[in-house]
Structure 1
Amino acid sequence: MLLFVLAAVAVIVVVRWVAARTGLPAAALLPLIGIVYALLPGPNIGLDPDLVLMIVLPPLLYSAALDSSLLDIRRNLRIVVSLSVLLVLLTGVLVGIGFHLFVAGATLAAGIAVGAAIAPPDPVAALAVGRRVNLPPKMVTIIQGEGLLNDATALTMLSVAVAAAVGGEFSFPSAVAQFVLAAVGGVAVGAAVAWLVRLARPFTADPLLSNAISLATPFVAYLLGEELHVSGVLAVVIAGLIVGHKTPQLTSGAARLQTSAVWRLVDFLLEGFVFLLIGQQLPEVVKGLRQYDRSTIVIAVAVSVGVVLLLRPAWLVMTQSLPRSLHTRLGGISEQDAPDEPGSARRIERADRNARRLTSREVVALSWSGTRGVISLAAIFTLPLTTNSGAPFPDRDLLLFCTFVVVLVTLVGQGLTFAPLVRMLGLRANETDQARVRNEARSAAVEAALARLDEVAAVEPDSAVAVNTTRTQLLARLARYRGRLDLLEQSGSSELPTSPEYEAALRVRRTAIDAQREELVRWRDSGRLPDEELRVLERELDHEELLLPRRASS
């Protein structure tokens, strides 16, 4: 087992390296490698749905929620709810009806079960590609928000469908009540867990304790939600959104840096293992197909893939055709409420871009971003083997195969073509606008610091020298930020303008840091500097280098 884990890590690292140099998404390459491995002789790793739902899903959802914006999701709440709740429910129902009408012997409940499993997109592949091609922030928010909330909808729908298939009874009022209870309860549990994390604030100053609490939070939220028979998935998401929103007030800078690095590593390894695991399920999902004739398999796959691929664009086009009054953004800033201060007009303009309906190019991109992933497979593998009467669960092997095909088609097909599609559509974030916002915020922060220094100087006369030194440094920084803003204001393009002088300054600063590192290592190698002291001084230089922007005008 250890050898398999090490081999998997090696494959994940190599694929990540290849993906970075070719532009191909790792999320699409890894399942193909998993399929190749599954076809080779030797042991294979089966998918344990309980392991995925309890161990893999909570940290991945929590990490994604931490990196999401609660305010941006609220601004785009209408379309996020439309995709993560209404579209998921409609997908499940239409797949169920399709199975009932066109697949010989299939029941409506079994069809809705597979529909619920394949309904929720897994945004990992789409987001990885979208960030690499610099997809506009609104599009990233919609894909991210949809992926955070749709699993709770799908898993609740699946449990209702399975109960109907196993017991042979279905009550629409009962199903609606169960769904509402699971959703409301999940939100309440997530908020409660976030409140408990806030109570643990005295412990979060220590980076190690902060990491331990952060890693434990998604599992606490999920287990508490499941124990109370509400949506543990939604509890994890809500806890992550609230904690991520409150992180600047809850943790120290050192804790945030370390926690962010830990979660990036967790995401990298878990996502890699998950996508490898998807491909290795091929033998399991095809072994039970001998009992079905070819036409039945083809029809079932066509219904599953067809609904998934066609319903999403149709839904987006339909919802974007609603009256403009229904596209009003929840919350945000309006022109009459905006303060009369520099930059407020641009903030109104950015808010208006969030409020407007999607363009045709954005609809096309969102239509092609619905990649399915391991959650779909984990969900369908939870189907019981038998019903309450002892009979085999209807068409279980066929449902497994249909889910696998949908995951493979969307993950590989859409995953590999999403980046070229986005480039062809010309969808890119306005880099100049993003850089302008950052430098406006930096300038405002420095101005707040200068005002605070005046207060300190007034009440602490003995700190005059320190105040003047710090003020000089801050004024130099403010002049630099304002210089960047002037450069950005003069740019008439969405691409970041270049500044040869500033780029040269960055190169000089990086060269100076490299020279310091080399000298410290020479001191260590000559025996004049202990390794422990070297690591302390290296961290100082690492933090100094981290402060340098990656691009000159950003």
Structure 2
Amino acid sequence: MLAAIAFGLLAVALVVAAALAARRFGLPAPVLLVGASTVYTLLPGPDLRLDPDIILVLVIPPLLYSAALSSSLLEIRANLRAVISLSVLLVVATALVVGGLLVAVMPGLPFAAACALGAALAPPDAVSALSIGRRVGLPDRLRTVIEGESLLNDATALTLYTVAVAAVVGDPFDVPFVIERFLVAALGGIAGGLVVAWLLGQLRRRIEEPVAESTISLATPFAAYLPAAALHVSGVLAVVTAGLVLGHQSRQLLSGAARLHALAVWRLVDLLLEGFVFLVIGQQFVAIVPAIADYSLGTVLAAAAVTLGGVLLTRALWLLVPVLLPTRLRFLSPHPYLSGRELLALSWSGMRGVISLAAVFALPASTDAVEFPQRDLLLFCAYSTVLVTLVGQGLTFGPLLRRLGVRPDAHESRRRRARARTAAAEAGLRALRSLQQHEPIPDALAGRLRRAAEDRKQRSQDSLTALNTPADEQVRPESPTQTFGRVRRIMIEAERDELQLWRDTGALSDVSLRLLESELDREEGALPPS
């Protein structure tokens, strides 16, 4: 027991250290964690072994749900053409290409077994892509496509994977059966997610306690996944659907305090679970490599090479070939609004991760009558592909974006936020005037409220003016809004010191101190950047 606790603490320490090192040196935290855990497996002591049930049932649902909460349902709908192309059609194409290549270099391997591996490796991993993408910075429309693809492609891949595995152990593997199974799983998953979102939405409308809200939020991905899995429909799609709907409705469902609390909770969950899955990937090294000792080196290298090549080249060709079409045929492209540089960046964003490994580890070692053919070699092919794409693409994704000049338009995003803040302040002033017409509000109180709203409006207008002024024409070292944020932070820090002094001298209890500090923390969080 003590050894397990010590190992858990070491894992948490590695996750935190990797996050700090990534921020300090600009390296992807997933790559650092995979490297550290791979080295750790070579040392004496306990190791983590990948349990597919734990990963697919306990780890992946909350990570996908968190990603769905922060995604935009409207933006995904606006980019639905590209999202479906990547999350459905490309997944199927990748599974078939990888399956065909493996059959060509692995004599005796059934096509269904090869397609099972291809389906497992077809979807870029949501955890890997979003974790690295958040750090390197992406334009909004490219980020939306990657998020939408990552959220939806697992349902396609796992459905095709299930059908392929069933075919190996005796069920039919024909096109009508695959299409029927996919439609049932997808539509059932979406319906299940909508039902869970509606039920929990009704419950959360009646709860205003932030801690209870966060508890329900943590339980939601499992409430969506488990019934869907029990009904043999897509649990992944149920989780994503529930997350997208509830995230879209958060304004109506949650109070401001509940949103702040839930955001902090999910950031912690993301940090720990993302770190855990990357540690698991690295720790499988010592379990997989010895298992291929019975195969010749040529067979191992050929199988690993065609698997990796099939995964990378299929994605690249799928995205880049439409660019070569004549202009009059460009409308046939599923992503005509993306530039060639953005498509090249998108083709290099397909890191594979723990979902692929968990699916391949779930391949049955044997059944009552059938032993899954060449399972150990398929495991090695999957692990080598995950390792190469995660480390190789993860380390080079940021430099590639910089070389291509594909960066987010930060100025435009800030301009939109400044305009939105101005409009929101004006809406608040209109609401105040309307209230004054219908109920008596003391002039002093109305004046305070009016000045606060007008001050927020003026700060937003100052930011907008600064953003619209060319850099070479700006003469002020900082805008009035930046000055306001900097000075108010200094004031808040002095107020915190005074509250601390009151507590230390016994004039204020710890409970009251935490309450007053929470008020200051929320105000500081709402300040403009200094």
* TM-score after normalising by structure 2: 0.95
Letter in 2 for 1:377: L
Deviation at 1:233, TM superposition (A): 0.5
Aligned 1:27-46 pairs, distance under 5 A: 27-46=30-49
Deviations 1:116-166 (A, max 9, x none): 111111143333333333311111111111111111111101100000111
Cα distance between partner residues in 1 of 2:331 and 2:442:
57
Cα distance between partner residues in 1 of 2:172 and 2:292:
27
Deviation at 1:61, TM superposition (A): 0.3
Aligned residue in 2 for 1:510: 489
Residues 223 and 321 (structure 1 numbering): CA distance in 2 closer, same or farther, change over 3 Å?
farther
1:417 and 2:420 matched: no
Aligned residue in 1 for 2:86: 83
Cα distance between partner residues in 2 of 1:145 and 1:498:
40
Cα distance between partner residues in 2 of 1:492 and 1:77:
37
Deviation at 1:502, TM superposition (A): 3.7
Letter in 2 for 1:287: P
Deviation at 1:318, TM superposition (A): 2.8
Q: Could you say what secondary structure the match of 1:287 adopts? A: helix
Residues 105 and 319 (structure 1 numbering): CA distance in 2 closer, same or farther, change over 3 Å?
same
1:134 and 2:133 matched: no
Could you tell me whether the CA contact under 8 Å between 1:377 and 1:403 is conserved in 2?
Answer: yes
Residues 74 and 531 (structure 1 numbering): CA distance in 2 closer, same or farther, change over 3 Å?
same
Letter in 1 for 2:340: S
Aligned residue in 1 for 2:107: 104
User: Could you list the runs of 5+ residues in structure 2 that have no partner in the other structure?
Assistant: none
Letter in 1 for 2:402: R
Cα distance between partner residues in 2 of 1:42 and 1:286:
18
- What count of residue pairs does the alignment treat as equivalent? 522
1:383 and 2:363 matched: yes
1:530 and 2:524 matched: no
For 1:282, which of 285, 298, 306 is the aligned residue?
Answer: 285
Could you tell me whether the CA contact under 8 Å between 2:120 and 2:356 is conserved in 1?
Answer: yes
Q: Could you say what secondary structure the match of 1:124 adopts? A: helix
Cα distance between partner residues in 1 of 2:388 and 2:463:
45
Aligned residue in 1 for 2:58: 55
Letter in 2 for 1:120: P
Aligned 1:107-118 pairs, distance under 5 A: 107-118=110-121
Q: Could you say what secondary structure the match of 1:214 adopts? A: helix
For 1:307, which of 284, 305, 310 is the aligned residue?
Answer: 310
Aligned residue in 1 for 2:423: 444
Deviation at 1:367, TM superposition (A): 1.1
Letter in 1 for 2:519: E
Aligned residue in 2 for 1:491: 470
User: Could you list the runs of 5+ residues in structure 1 that have no partner in the other structure?
Assistant: 329-354
1:160 and 2:139 matched: no
Query: For structure 1, which segment, 143-152 or 469-478, has the greater mean C-alpha deviation from structure 2 after superposition?
Result: 469-478
Could you tell me whether the CA contact under 8 Å between 2:7 and 2:46 is conserved in 1?
Answer: no
Q: Could you say what secondary structure the match of 1:358 adopts? A: coil
Cα distance between partner residues in 2 of 1:395 and 1:267:
35
Residues 170 and 191 (structure 1 numbering): CA distance in 2 closer, same or farther, change over 3 Å?
same
1:364 and 2:344 matched: yes
Percent of aligned positions with the same letter in both sequences? 52
1:193 and 2:196 matched: yes
Could you tell me whether the CA contact under 8 Å between 1:457 and 1:463 is conserved in 2?
Answer: no
Q: Could you say what secondary structure the match of 2:191 adopts? A: helix
For 1:467, which of 432, 439, 446 is the aligned residue?
Answer: 446
Deviations 1:209-243 (A, max 9, x none): 10111011100100111111110000000000000
Aligned residue in 2 for 1:26: 29
Aligned 1:386-405 pairs, distance under 5 A: 386-389=366-369, 391-405=370-384
Residues 181 and 246 (structure 1 numbering): CA distance in 2 closer, same or farther, change over 3 Å?
same
Cα distance between partner residues in 1 of 2:337 and 2:55:
36
1:234 and 2:237 matched: yes
Deviation at 1:37, TM superposition (A): 1.4
Deviation at 1:42, TM superposition (A): 2.7
For 1:318, which of 308, 316, 321 is the aligned residue?
Answer: 321
Q: Could you say what secondary structure the match of 2:169 adopts? A: helix
Cα distance between partner residues in 1 of 2:309 and 2:23:
32
Deviation at 1:490, TM superposition (A): 2.4
Cα distance between partner residues in 1 of 2:462 and 2:43:
60
Aligned residue in 2 for 1:336: none
Aligned 1:190-229 pairs, distance under 5 A: 190-229=193-232
Letter in 2 for 1:474: A
Cα distance between partner residues in 2 of 1:129 and 1:162:
31
Query: For structure 1, which segment, 455-464 or 224-233, has the greater mean C-alpha deviation from structure 2 after superposition?
Result: 455-464
Deviations 1:334-390 (A, max 9, x none): xxxxxxxxxxxxxxxxxxxxx85211111111111100110000000111112452x
Could you tell me whether the CA contact under 8 Å between 1:92 and 1:114 is conserved in 2?
Answer: yes
Deviations 1:282-326 (A, max 9, x none): 122123212211111111101110011111111001345563445
Aligned residue in 1 for 2:520: 541
Could you tell me whether the CA contact under 8 Å between 1:191 and 1:242 is conserved in 2?
Answer: yes
Residues 210 and 319 (structure 1 numbering): CA distance in 2 closer, same or farther, change over 3 Å?
farther
Letter in 1 for 2:349: S
For 1:260, which of 246, 250, 263 is the aligned residue?
Answer: 263
Deviations 1:170-208 (A, max 9, x none): 232111100111001111001111101111134431101
Aligned 1:335-350 pairs, distance under 5 A: none
Residues 196 and 73 (structure 1 numbering): CA distance in 2 closer, same or farther, change over 3 Å?
same
Residues 204 and 324 (structure 1 numbering): CA distance in 2 closer, same or farther, change over 3 Å?
farther
* TM-score after normalising by structure 1: 0.91
Query: For structure 1, which segment, 366-375 or 122-131, has the greater mean C-alpha deviation from structure 2 after superposition?
Result: 122-131
Deviations 1:219-273 (A, max 9, x none): 0100111111110000000000000000011111110000010000001000101
Q: CA RMSD in A?
A: 1.9
Deviation at 1:531, TM superposition (A): 1.2
Letter in 1 for 2:178: A
Deviations 1:481-528 (A, max 9, x none): 1222222222379x9x97354433322211111111111111111122
Letter in 2 for 1:404: Y
Query: For structure 1, which segment, 427-436 or 371-380, has the greater mean C-alpha deviation from structure 2 after superposition?
Result: 427-436
Could you tell me whether the CA contact under 8 Å between 1:362 and 1:427 is conserved in 2?
Answer: yes
Cα distance between partner residues in 2 of 1:509 and 1:461:
32
Aligned residue in 2 for 1:250: 253
Could you tell me whether the CA contact under 8 Å between 2:482 and 2:528 is conserved in 1?
Answer: no
Deviation at 1:428, TM superposition (A): 1.2
Cα distance between partner residues in 1 of 2:333 and 2:459:
40
Residues 321 and 181 (structure 1 numbering): CA distance in 2 closer, same or farther, change over 3 Å?
farther
Cα distance between partner residues in 1 of 2:269 and 2:230:
25
